[in-house]
Chain A
């Protein structure tokens, strides 16, 4: 039991990155980023509840270039985690576990989340107002 210094698996620094491993790590990474990003959502709602002044301040902060940059990253993280989460739900049901299917669904997640990110920003700029 006293094997405290044994090597831990997986050896991230030894393996060549593959689509499967990169997407898996990205799922965890975007999950953590989204958990931190909830701070922004709650700040926005609390500012709206606080009244016109605090809401205007929040809108200004979120609308600044750094706010938009954060929000853009957050949008991609959200769509990536959503798409890859659906991929995980299919795996939980026992579907798509053959290696060619895993790669196909992986690329679908990459293109799907990028497309949804761009589409929602286009909609935000040209569909809703601003």
Chain B
């Protein structure tokens, strides 16, 4: 049980109305992306010039497919959080800010979905 009063808890959330959740999510995805990025570069550089059959066999293994899906999820979540901060810093018109944030969020979702579905296609059909 928390000893803080409701007003104290609400104030703790600050002007962003969400406390440290944005900050924390950005750090957690950053920590996840350290090993995932190193794996990605090592894996891609060792498959330079692969033809479609080699690519399908490689991405089509459960471990590689799983790592790719984790990479895509963490990347687009982290990218959205970062782009959101940039947009909130530099857009001074409220309407332009909201429209851009919605468009960026939509683009991140669509791209992540295409990426994950492509990996799953290679896993199940490749």
Contact = CB atoms under 8 A, between A and B. Distances in A.
A89 interface: yes
B48 A130 contact: yes
B76 A38 contact: yes
18 contacts: A28-B86, A35-B82, A38-B111, A45-B59, A45-B115, A46-B114, A52-B53, A56-B52, A78-B41, A82-B38, A85-B30, A85-B33, A120-B41, A123-B45, A125-B48, A127-B45, A129-B48, A129-B49
B34 A86 contact: yes
A103 interface: no
A126 B51 CA distance: 17
Does more than half of chain B's interface fall in helix, strand or loop, or is it mixed? Answer: helix
Contacts of B47: 128
Interface of A: 28, 31-32, 34-35, 38-39, 41-42, 45-46, 48-49, 51-52, 55-56, 59, 63, 75, 78-79, 82, 85-86, 88-89, 92, 120-121, 123-125, 127-130
Contacts of B30: 85, 88-89
Interface size class of B (residues with CB under 8 A): 35 or more
Contacts of B42: 120, 123
Contacts of B50: 129
Interface string B52-69: 110110010000000010
A48 B115 contact: no
Nearest to A29: B86
B45 to A, nearest CB: 4
Given A38-B75, A92-B27, A123-B45, A49 B37 contact: no
Contacts of B37: 78, 82
Interface in B104-121: 111, 114-115, 117-119, 121
Interface of B: 27, 30-31, 33-34, 37-38, 41-42, 44-53, 55-56, 59, 68, 72, 75-76, 79, 82-83, 86, 111, 114-115, 117-119, 121-122, 125-126
A52 B86 contact: no
Shortest beta-carbon contacts, A-B, top 3: A49-B118, A49-B121, A130-B49
A38 B79 contact: yes
Nearest to B80: A35
Given A32-B82, A127-B46, 10 more contacts: A38-B79, A42-B114, A49-B126, A52-B51, A59-B49, A78-B41, A79-B41, A120-B41, A120-B45, A124-B44
